[in-house]
Structure 1
């Protein structure tokens, strides 16, 4: 279904396991803070609503989306975490910078997860304009931060069950 017809943060069709036994990292980019702050609140509140303990959530702010990669790697190197959620927002501009950043961030986040064999969740909006970003950070299309948190919980639970 096309995203313009749906709230993407509706989880009524799925079961979300308890987040209570898990430890999470949230890395949020400060760039586009009006959007990323809402993503962070959505992720944090979704973790808490699904049973995560406040003391089991480590939050880190970085300058921009590109820095999410190194921060996720540092968190997984120095902390015993079950999953890391990366939250950012890259909005299309007039140059190819958007393409390079989006490609690097997507690949970098995936590689950190593979390196550590832990879930590293891509909660980065890559939109054409600010309106689309706001629609996906608590607006009419839900909150990608909520989605990232639910994904982190499900992946942490899946990894735990496969041990």
Structure 2
């Protein structure tokens, strides 16, 4: 059995990891807060600043292609997707939420790279603000843990 039997503390040791982050700029106030929380948590988990790479893209639909380019470099133990999609009055919300989520999953599966998906999908700005810090922290923890899990599976 992988993961739980190894002990969660060792799975959250980021000292030897290299992490890539793709951040959408759309809804930048939220995505910057996601990044700040994620970045702080990565550092708290021991990931060295020099081993954290941040790339920004226009919006959530552009996140998967940037993740794919980073995954293909084979320099990262895990990747993180940061973005924020807030429901509007049109079908565009569903399109962006569904396609960005499917794209992130596809890149992860196709490249065998763990990707923590922290692209928020909320009904309104208040919900996004309420989730931005914890979701950013969660993304860092998921990325570090999944890098170790995939290493164990080998």
Task: State the TM-score, normalizing by the size of structure 2.
Answer: 0.91
Shift of 1:78: 2.2
CA RMSD after TM alignment: 1.1
Query: How far did residue 159 of structure 1 move?
Result: 1.0
- Three-state SS of the structure 2 residue aligned to 1:90 is strand
Q: Which one has a larger percent helix, Structure 1 or Structure 2?
A: 2
Matches within 5 A, 1:26-41: 26-41=21-36
Match of 2:150 among 131, 156, 159: 159
Q: Residues of 2 paired with 1:125 and 1:82: CA distance?
A: 23
1:114 matches 2:105: no
Q: Distance in 2 between matches of 1:55 and 1:79?
A: 16
- What secondary structure does 1:136 align onto? helix
Q: Which runs of 5+ in 1 are unaligned?
A: 1-13
Number of paired residues?
A: 146
Query: Given the alignment, which residue of 113, 137, 154 partners 2:132?
Result: 137
Structure 2 regions of 5+ residues with no counterpart? 1-7
**Cα distance, 1:44 vs structure 2:** 0.7
Name 1:6's counterpart in structure 2: none
Q: What secondary structure is seen at the aligned counterpart in 1 of 2:12?
A: coil
| TM-score, normalization by structure 1 | 0.87
Runs of 4+ in structure 1 deviating by more than 4 angstroms, as ranges, are none
Deviations 1:99-126, CA, capped at 9 Å, x for gaps: 0110001110000001110101110100
CA distance in 1, matches of 2:150, 2:74: 17
**Which whole-Å CA distance do the structure 1 matches of 2:118 and 2:21 have between them?**
10
Q: CA deviation at 1:36?
A: 0.3
Aligned counterparts of 2:88 and 2:139: Cα–Cα separation in 1: 25
Could you tell me which residue of structure 2 aligns to residue 49 of structure 1? Answer: 44
Quote the Cα distance in structure 2 between the aligned partners of 1:79 and 1:131.
Answer: 37
Deviation at 1:79, TM superposition (A): 4.3
